[in-house]
Amino acid sequence: MNEFIIIITGVLGATLTFYVSKNLKQGAVRASALLSLAVGLFFYCFPELLNEYATTHIPIVFMGTSFIGMVSSKVQTNYIVLAVAGFLFSFIYLSKSNFFDGYGGAIGTLALISLLVIMAFSKIIPKSTRLDNVILSLKRAALKFKKKITF
C-alpha cells in the first residue's frame, strides 16, 4: 500500500506543480515551493495520519516530483508525459532509495533523469501509438515491481 501511495504522490506532485505554475500563473518556483511546503507542513502537523514510512517519504517524493512539474510550458505541455515522469521518479525512488543516501542534489538529479527519459520517449514514439505504449509499459513495470515487492 505504501508503494501505491508513493507512486500516486509522484504523479500528483508533477502534474499539480505544472498546473499551478501554468494555469494559476504562479511561476514554476513559487508553484513548487508552495505545494511542497503545504505537503511538508501537513505531514509535520499530522504525523500519525499515515504510517511512519509514508509520513517520511511522501513529502520527499512530492518535492522531487514538483521539480519535474517546474518544466517550462514552452518545452512540455502534455500532462500525461508529466504524470509518467512522476511515475518513473517514484518507481526509481522506491527501487533505489538507499542508493541516493548521502548524495546532495539526488532528488533534483532523479527528477531531471526521469523527465529527460520520458521526454525522449515521447519524441521517439510516433503519436498514434504513444499512449498505448506508455500504458503497456506502465502495466509491465507495475507487474515487475509487484513481483519484486511480494514477500
pLDDT, tens digit, 9 for 90 and up, residues 19-69? 999 999 999 999 999 999 999 999 999 999 999 999 999 999 999 999 999
Q: How sure is the predictor about 8, in pLDDT bands with cuts at 50, 70 and 90?
A: very high
**Which amino acid appears at position 45 of this protein?**
C
d(CA 112, CA 109): 5
Domains of the chain: which residue ranges? 2-149
Lowest mean pLDDT among 5-19, 78-92, 112-126: 112-126
Q: Output b/e per residue, 41-79; b: 16+ Cβ within 10 A.
A: eebeeeeeebeeebbebbbbbbbbbbbbbbbeeeebeee
Instruction: Look at residues 20, 118, 108 and name the one whose alpha carbon lies nearest to residue 60.
Output: 108
**Which amino acid appears at position 142 of this protein?**
A
- pLDDT for 90 beyond 90: yes
Q: How confident is the model over 127-151, as pLDDT tens digits?
A: 655 566 667 777 788 777 766 665 5
Query: Which residues are CB-neighbours of 4 under 8 A, at least 6 positions away?
Result: none
